[in-house]
Amino acid sequence: MTLAELQSTFSQHLLYQSVDLAELEITGPFSAEQLMGLYRNNFYIGLSEYLSDCFPAVVALVGEEFFAQLAKAYIIECPLSQANLELYGQGFAPFIKDCPQAESLEYLADIAALDWAFDRAKSVVSLQDFPFTQLAQVTAQQQQQISFRLQPETLLLCAPYPLLKIWLGAKSGELDALEMKSDERVVMYPNKHSGVLFCNLSSTEYQFLQQVQAHASLQSLSALPDFQDLLKHFISLHIINDFKFAGEA
């Protein structure tokens, strides 16, 4: 057996694909199944622990056993494609959204998105202040073509249930008597002083930030209600922290 063949068979076994372990010609203190089981357990436990660290509210909502099943399904379906784990959790919320096992928990994918955004926002160290001086130099003609930027790692979510209350309740262990039919819009963003901040948004605020996130031009934004107040407000909160000219990356 060549090295590539051995690694292929070994890898397939780790991923629960059907292989003939006898081909590996393993010896040791226990059976080949038991010894390979040690490696397989170690692989899943390592990645599951990483995911449970990134998604504490999801764990709190579904319990460790169900979370382990979700994690295992994710590891098999969305393989780790680099050694660095830092961004491996990025696909977990979209995975949950499409996962039949989590179908009955309609809010779970959004809770995972909040967990992930919180984790990512914490990792941001240097935050850029809004470039007021540069904005003052923009000519009136250029002004209509500029678009604003949200602070990196900012998350906007809108849900037909009390998303932030569920997330906070799961994290604190106090999930009593929520009115599940109240919808909610949320922004979560990195902050210099607190690490991460989040709050509810009105539908007008949400629509405005959605447009900013989509890089709508100043000309389009100015058609939205309360445009000037909203722009000032979100710049003052450091949620909007930059602007670009049309075509500029």
Partner 1 sequence: MTVLTPPCSLAIAENAIGVGLRSPHYQQILAQLPDIAWLEIHSENFFNAGSAQRDLLDRLAVHYPLSFHGIGLSLGSTDPLNKQHLRQLKSLIDNYQPALVSEHLSWSSFSGRYFNDLLPVPLTSESLNVFCDRLNQVQDFLGRAVLVENPTVYLNFTQSHIDEWAFLNEIQRRCQSGLLLDLNNIYVNSINLGIDAEHYLQNINVDAVREIHLAGFTRKVLEDGEILIDTHGSPVSEPVWELFRNFRSRCQAPALIEWDNDIPDLAVLLAEARRAEREQLAGAPEQVPI
Task: Please give the residue ranges that form the binding site for partner 1 (CB under 8 A).
Answer: 1-4, 6-8, 10-11, 14-15, 24-30, 32, 34-36, 38-39, 42-43, 46-47, 50, 79-86, 122-126
Residue 129: both structure tokens together: 């202040």
What's at 195, amino acid-wise?
Answer: G
Query: What's the closest the beta carbon of residue 66 comes to partner 1, in angstroms?
Result: 22
The DSSP code for 217 is B
Based on CB atoms, which residue is closest to partner 1, 10 or 161?
10
Query: What's the closest the beta carbon of residue 116 comes to partner 1, in angstroms?
Result: 16
Based on CB atoms, which residue is closest to partner 1, 22 or 136?
22
Cα dihedral: 75, 59, 104, 173 (round 10): -170
What's at 164, amino acid-wise?
Answer: L
Q: Which residues contact 107 (CB under 8 A, 6 or more apart)?
A: 159, 161, 163, 166
Based on CB atoms, which residue is closest to partner 1, 15 or 246?
15
d(CA 22, CA 98): 37
Based on CB atoms, which residue is closest to partner 1, 22 or 214?
22
Query: What's the closest the beta carbon of residue 88 comes to partner 1, in angstroms?
Result: 9
Cα–chain center distance at 69: 19
The kind and range of the H/E element at 68 are helix 56-77
Query: What's the closest the beta carbon of residue 25 comes to partner 1, in angstroms?
Result: 4
Query: What's the closest the beta carbon of residue 249 comes to partner 1, in angstroms?
Result: 17
The DSSP code for 72 is H
Based on CB atoms, which residue is closest to partner 1, 43 or 227?
43
d(CA 209, CA 157): 10
Query: What's the closest the beta carbon of residue 148 comes to partner 1, in angstroms?
Result: 21
Based on CB atoms, which residue is closest to partner 1, 7 or 203?
7
